[in-house]
Amino acid sequence: MDKIFIRSLAVHAFHGVLKEEHVLGQRFILHLIVWLDLSRACETDCLNDTISYAELVATMTKTFTQERFDLIEKAAEKTAQKILEDFNLILKLELTVEKPSAPIAAMFDTVGITITREQPL
């Protein structure tokens, strides 16, 4: 199985359970891996036989930022569902959402979640 990946896509969104997060928002970092068959694209050298990175980034950004959720789990789920819906070549995906400025009284680089979803049969 072949993969396409996007690492460290930074987006500003308003997810979180605290009132300040709803008003000010914060930076989130998204990482995406999609599994698909790239053999046809390798033969044809044609963009129509693969997935455009630019279109993936646009879908991720728009979906992740268009609604506000308390939990990044819900934001990730909505984003994963939209990617699978829009890109039927994708068989499986892994989406990681990092929240580097999470309001936690501790010193850390980042916190986050990873979900894995597959194309419905």
Q: How far apart are CA 14 and CA 21, in angstroms?
A: 6
DSSP 23-52: HH-EEEEEEEEEEE--HHHHHH--GGGS--
Query: pTM of the entire structure?
Result: 0.96
44 phi and psi angles, rounded to 5 deg: -90, -25
Q: What is 2-118's CATH topology?
A: GTP Cyclohydrolase I, domain 2 (3.30.1130)
Mean pLDDT for the stretch of residues 108-114: 97
Residue 53: pLDDT band (50, 70, 90) is: very high
* Domain boundaries of the chain, sorted by first residue: 2-118
Q: What is the pLDDT of residue 120?
A: 87
Q: What is the pLDDT of residue 83?
A: 98
Looking at the annotation, which residues are catalytic? 99
3-class state of residue 76 by DSSP: helix
Query: Which residue, 49, 101, 96, 54, is CA-closest to 75?
Result: 96
The per-residue pLDDT for range 13-46, each reduced to its tens digit, is: 999 999 999 999 999 999 999 999 999 999 999 9
The per-residue pLDDT for range 56-105, each reduced to its tens digit, is: 999 999 999 999 999 999 999 999 999 999 999 999 999 999 999 999 99
Residue 11: pLDDT band (50, 70, 90) is: very high
**Residue type for 59, please?**
T
